[in-house]
Amino acid sequence: MVNKGVRWNESETKKIYNANKETEMLMRYLEERLFEKEIVDNSADSPTPDRGFGRMIYYSGSRRILVSAPRKRYKHIHVVLSNKINMAEVKKAGIKTGNGKTDVMLTSNEEINKLVSLLETGWEQPGGVKDEAGTYKTRTLEDWLQLYEKDEAARFREHFILYEREAFISNFTELVELRNGTINLGEFKKILDQKTKAKVEFEGNRVNLWGFSGFSGQMFFNQLYNMAEYTETIEELTTEILAGIQISDHEEGDFNWTREKLGRFGEYIKSLKKRAIEQGFPPKRCPNTRYMTFFLSFFWGIQGMEKYPIYYKASRDGLEYLGYSLATDTQAAEHHKYNHFVDKLYELLEDMQKYRGEKYMADMMSLSSFLYYVASSIEAENNAEDDDKDPIINDEFALQIRDVLFEEGYKFSQMKTADPEETGLEEEYTGSLIWQYSGESKEDVAGLLIIWESEETYNADLRIENEEGDLLRGKSVDALDDVKFLNELRGYLQ
């Protein structure tokens, strides 16, 4: 549950949490400072009444800045920062970090002032400065263009990916076959999964050409299909998908038609979800409509790579890094976000033309490659500055959980601290500490998520998922200590 436009003093979280007075005062002071310095312009209350806790979420436009929660026994508030934060600066300021990648524990007004000062001066990217419009930049657009043009390895990679994608499209006949009725939607989904998961060899590395196999793509497709199968409406889903991915007649550069496509598809998903839940389909297995933008844009893109940009996260991050903000004055409806994204791409192309004094062709594929270069370069710089590894690697309790998994026959080879967005969880889990274990599957099990209530308890929601991200089993654990939690986990796995 996320209730936007709610401040801390009026929040349900404050009413139900029964936090100690010290942390309640810290919560109020943090919020006052964030709004006073115009670091945020909106807040939301995210309570969990049946568990007696919750959290506050703070935004600047549509961008989440941080999440905070009080404490019952401890004298600090728990704050989870944006996942683009450079944590090295936090540590330099003497602020204590927590168990997650970007969480901190604030114990005084002085520490809150330090954090607010860092946020205010634009410290999120190494070497970043805040311009007059309030955006963060590490280099000018002209700097990035020069770097990209001189980076022969990056340009070679771009040409290689372009060649392989063109080869993929020329051999992807299944979309025509689906339209002609030669194959059904289930067959199409299976073949699409196989083909988009296939990786190509590039300089000793295996490269995924499309990035379609995650939550926004194939897993979203799987969840949609599962709902339609449950409600016996596969033909209806087929019709809606084909209508959504069909490119309407339009003038070159006009993307208004995508609003209608996304609007209709979003309403269909909501309707299907309502019907499925009424018939007994588990709500947690329903897809999130925010993934539909990438989903439809992928199919538009493979029908014309040079004309129709795919809604890649790297492209959006690249735009933000360059100062082309995707934030809006209000929470834009999902079916408007793609148009806003395209508008910013064309702004970037116009600026490229100004810097180069020549006509830049509106080639969306090349532009996507450039933005990937910007986003991945800055990500590499951020990682280079922060030498710390994921805290879960050295967490004794996390290792004990891994050992229990091994004992019960679950050979999970990876464990990490995960972000709610990358796991596909609803926004109400924003700010939660999430441990993710994944690897080889046992009886279709490929992953375990442990969503902790807080760092001061052994209460958590457990989610066992298959490789498609579908929930197989779920359980809430309320344990008094680590031993009881591990015993509950063993029983659950058995």
Say yes or no: 236 and 337 in one domain.
Answer: yes
d(CA 237, CA 269): 9
Say yes or no: 446 and 378 in one domain.
Answer: no
- CB-facing half-sphere around the CA of 342: CA atoms within 13 A: 25
Q: What CATH number is associated with residue 7? A: 3.90.1150
Residue 358: band (very low, low, confident or very high) from pLDDT cuts 50, 70, 90: low
- Domain end, chosen from 352, 385, 418, is at 385
> How far is the CA of 17 from the CAs of 13, 76, 103, 454, in angstroms?
6, 14, 20, 12
| Stronger pLDDT, 300 or 363, i.e. the higher one | 300
The predicted model gives 275-284 an average pLDDT of: 91
Q: Is pLDDT at 425 greater than 80 in this prediction?
A: no
Say yes or no: 16 and 153 in one domain.
Answer: no
* pLDDT the model gives residue 317: 87
Examine residue 94 and state whether it is found in any structural domain, yes or no: yes
Whether 234 contacts 182, CB under 8 Å: no
Residue 285: band (very low, low, confident or very high) from pLDDT cuts 50, 70, 90: confident
Say yes or no: 153 and 270 in one domain.
Answer: yes
pLDDT, averaged across the chain: 82
Examine residue 215 and state whether it is found in any structural domain, yes or no: yes
Examine residue 133 and state whether it is found in any structural domain, yes or no: no
- The tokens for 182 are 């030669």
d(CA 434, CA 462): 10
Q: Which of 83, 108, 81 lies closest to 26, judged by CA?
A: 108
Say yes or no: 105 and 56 in one domain.
Answer: yes
d(CA 372, CA 351): 18
Query: For a pLDDT cut of 90, what percent of the chain falls above it?
Result: 29
- In what side-by-side order are the strands of the sheet with 96-97? 3-4, 42-48, 53-60, 63-69, 77-81, 103-106, 96-97
* pLDDT the model gives residue 135: 36
Lowest mean pLDDT among 79-83, 277-281, 420-424: 420-424
Examine residue 471 and state whether it is found in any structural domain, yes or no: yes
Q: How many CB atoms sit inside 10 A of residue 184's CB?
A: 13
Whether 217 contacts 295, CB under 8 Å: yes
Lowest mean pLDDT among 126-130, 307-311, 339-343: 126-130
Q: Is pLDDT at 8 greater than 90 in this prediction?
A: yes
Residue 38: band (very low, low, confident or very high) from pLDDT cuts 50, 70, 90: confident
Q: Which of 35, 73, 79, 29 lies closest to 431, judged by CA?
A: 79
Say yes or no: 249 and 205 in one domain.
Answer: yes
| Residue whose tokens read 């209460």 | 459
Examine residue 23 and state whether it is found in any structural domain, yes or no: yes
Whether 261 contacts 244, CB under 8 Å: yes
* pLDDT the model gives residue 200: 84
Residue type, 143: D
**pTM of structure:** 0.59
Examine residue 129 and state whether it is found in any structural domain, yes or no: no
How do residues 441-456 score in pLDDT, each as one tens digit? 555 567 888 888 776 6
Q: Is pLDDT at 62 greater than 70 in this prediction?
A: no
Q: Is pLDDT at 116 greater than 50 in this prediction?
A: yes
Residue 476: band (very low, low, confident or very high) from pLDDT cuts 50, 70, 90: confident
Number of domains in the chain: 3
Say yes or no: 423 and 346 in one domain.
Answer: no
Q: Which of 265, 261, 214, 200 lies closest to 236, judged by CA?
A: 265
* pLDDT the model gives residue 252: 84
Most confident of the ranges 144-158, 195-209, 345-359, 462-476: 144-158
Residue 264: band (very low, low, confident or very high) from pLDDT cuts 50, 70, 90: very high
* pLDDT the model gives residue 387: 45
* pLDDT the model gives residue 357: 63
* pLDDT the model gives residue 96: 83
> How far is the CA of 38 from the CAs of 3, 34, 41, 117, 121, in angstroms?
21, 6, 6, 12, 12
Say yes or no: 321 and 347 in one domain.
Answer: yes
User: Which residues, at least 6 apart from 48, have a Cβ–Cβ distance to it below 8 Å?
Assistant: 1, 54, 428
The predicted model gives 40-67 an average pLDDT of: 80
The predicted model gives 293-313 an average pLDDT of: 93
Q: How far apart are the first and last CA of the chain?
A: 31
d(CA 55, CA 23): 13
* pLDDT the model gives residue 362: 54
How do residues 76-97 score in pLDDT, each as one tens digit? 898 888 755 667 778 888 888 7
Residue 108: band (very low, low, confident or very high) from pLDDT cuts 50, 70, 90: very high
Most confident of the ranges 209-213, 295-299, 319-323: 295-299
Examine residue 26 and state whether it is found in any structural domain, yes or no: yes
Which 3-state string (H, E, C) describes 147-213?
A: HHHHCHHHHHHHHHHHHHHHHHHHHCCHHHHHHHCCCCHHHHHHHHHHHHHCEEEECCEEEECCCCC
| Stronger pLDDT, 158 or 472, i.e. the higher one | 158
- Domain end, chosen from 124, 159, 177, is at 124
The predicted model gives 21-44 an average pLDDT of: 91
Whether 475 contacts 462, CB under 8 Å: yes
Most confident of the ranges 328-337, 419-428, 450-459: 450-459
Say yes or no: 179 and 261 in one domain.
Answer: yes
Examine residue 136 and state whether it is found in any structural domain, yes or no: no
Residue 179: band (very low, low, confident or very high) from pLDDT cuts 50, 70, 90: very high
The predicted model gives 22-34 an average pLDDT of: 94
The domain in which residue 70 lies consists of 3-124
Query: For a pLDDT cut of 70, what percent of the chain falls above it?
Result: 81
Q: How many CB atoms sit inside 10 A of residue 419's CB?
A: 18
| Stronger pLDDT, 87 or 493, i.e. the higher one | 493
- Domain end, chosen from 94, 124, 154, is at 124
Residue 389: band (very low, low, confident or very high) from pLDDT cuts 50, 70, 90: low
| Stronger pLDDT, 361 or 463, i.e. the higher one | 463
The alpha carbon of residue 336 and the mean position of all alpha carbons in its chain are separated, in whole angstroms, by 18
Say yes or no: 375 and 401 in one domain.
Answer: no
Residue type, 447: G
| Stronger pLDDT, 100 or 480, i.e. the higher one | 480
Residue 132: band (very low, low, confident or very high) from pLDDT cuts 50, 70, 90: very low
Residue 330: band (very low, low, confident or very high) from pLDDT cuts 50, 70, 90: very low
* pLDDT the model gives residue 133: 37
Say yes or no: 192 and 288 in one domain.
Answer: yes
Say yes or no: 306 and 397 in one domain.
Answer: no
The predicted model gives 322-346 an average pLDDT of: 77
